[in-house]
Amino acid sequence: MEKAERNIIVNEYYEPSKPDFMDKKRLAEELCVSTQTIDNFVKSMKFKEEVHYIREKRILRFYYPQIRKDFAPKLASL
């Protein structure tokens, strides 16, 4: 059985899609807020654990698709 040949398209302007999980700094950049604001959202439970973020030991990983859906509904439909 022969393997199908795949054409590789090189695009120097390729922008990868946003990752599903982001660290605090990257999420703050995406939402145009400070990292302190992200901390405040976590402390005030605006972001819910296991819904908007997961905790890996002492590191928080934020689930961007859910945050985008809940906090920016117009953007989520794009």
pLDDT in tens, 27-42: 999 888 899 999 999 9
Is 0.75 topped by the overall pTM? no
Give the number of other Cβ atoms within 10 Å of residue 67's Cβ: 22
Give me the residue spans of the domains in the chain.
21-76
58: CB partners within 8 A, 6+ apart: none
Task: Give yes or no for a contact between 23 and 62, defined as CB atoms under 8 angstroms apart.
Answer: yes
pLDDT of 50 above 60:
yes
